[in-house]
Amino acid sequence: MTKLVMESTDCLLCGSSNREEAETLHWKGEDLIYAICRECGLKYMSRRPTAAWYAQFYRDEFWQESRLQKRSYDPGSTTKSTMAWQEDGLSSDELEKRVTRSRKRQIWRAQRIWRITEKFFELGPESTVLEIGAGWGKFLELVMKETGCRAAAVEPSEMARQYMSETLGVSLAARSFEEIGGLDDFKGKTDLVVCSHVLENTIDPIDNLRNIRNLLSQQGIVYIDTCNLYYNNAINPYHPYVFCPETLRSILLAAGLEPVYMEHEGHPARVSRISDIQKAKYLAVVARKGPSKKMIDRPEMVVSMAQEKGKILMSRGRKLHALKKIVKRLFPFAAR
């Protein structure tokens, strides 16, 4: 187990040190501290591992770790807590089972990405698609089959890189998000960049998004999905950031990207079905090149707004689940 190398930091989005501490994770012998910026609302680790440490972890250890303790968190709660995040190394059989489950999840995710992104472009054999944090490459496999495009991956894990190269025939462009600034062959020529559950794992998402902007062709788009703070407070040692719609939009604009589509943006009151609550745990965004500008939505929203939205969501969720039980009792055949 690699010893953590830690650092402290202020808000990336607005530079403020004015923050309210939220949760603390105890991991590998260190405390990782989450805070919410009082000036712009960004939720981030104010005490975290360094970028160099994370790079080594994703390359050498990530797929060998097992998240044993899973927990739910009520976003309506104001309790600050300390949680121990325990992980153990896996046996070869256990690791293979986890890898198999991971590939199955990525197939579902690939279908979701394709459903959203295909509305915004027409890809063909001359098109270039780059996925950052491609994992097992299931989206690239799908998009190559559908369009015949050129597909390339950025992925740190040796295990995943070998699978993509040998099994799928995917080109390996780089190992980390931070290396994409040096992909000269892709600059101005990439029609689609995909970052699925990657942006929240990076130390400097604004700089990384600027590098993505440089890769995009004139009509190119970037697809991003990430956990949605209002519906899924996804704190874990791999997430230096947890975004809500407002802060994600501000991050994109600061990097010179203009959002043209955002799924599950807005207030939980719009969530009317149980299935919607599950989907609303994640934000999905499509963005194009735009002017770089600083736009921070309603600085006063920070803590209180996140807490109030969480309370509304949890209340609606409880009511919907209760209604489902009543319907099942009254109409057992219809509820199946």
pLDDT band at 123 (very low <50, low <70, confident <90, very high): very high
What is the amino acid identity at position 238? Y
DSSP E strand stretches across 137-256 = 150-154, 171-174, 190-196, 216-227, 241-242
Mean pLDDT of 74-95: 57
Tokens of 81: 């807590």
Helix (H, G, I), strand (E, B) or coil at 202: coil
Tokens of 142: 């799908």
pLDDT band at 78 (very low <50, low <70, confident <90, very high): very low
Least confident among 173-187, 275-289, 303-317: 303-317
Spatial distance between the Cα atoms of 163 and 158, rounded to a whole number of angstroms = 9
Least confident among 191-195, 227-231, 323-327: 323-327
Residue matched to tokens 């956990």: 227
Helix (H, G, I), strand (E, B) or coil at 149: coil
DSSP letter for 175, please. S
pLDDT of residue 297: 55
Could you tell me the domains of the chain? 6-81 (no CATH), 95-311 (3.40.50.150)
pLDDT exceeds 60 at position 290: yes
Cβ pair 26, 4 in contact under 8 A = no
Query: Between β-strands 19-27 and 6-8, what pairing exists: parallel, antiparallel or unpaired?
Result: unpaired
pLDDT exceeds 90 at position 33: yes
Residues counted in the chain: 336
Nearest CA among 318, 320, 231 for reference residue 267:
231
**What is the pLDDT of the chain when averaged over all its residues?**
81
pLDDT one-digit tens code per residue, 167-218: 999 999 999 998 999 999 999 999 999 999 999 999 999 999 999 999 999 9
Mean pLDDT of 247-256: 92
pLDDT of residue 114: 94
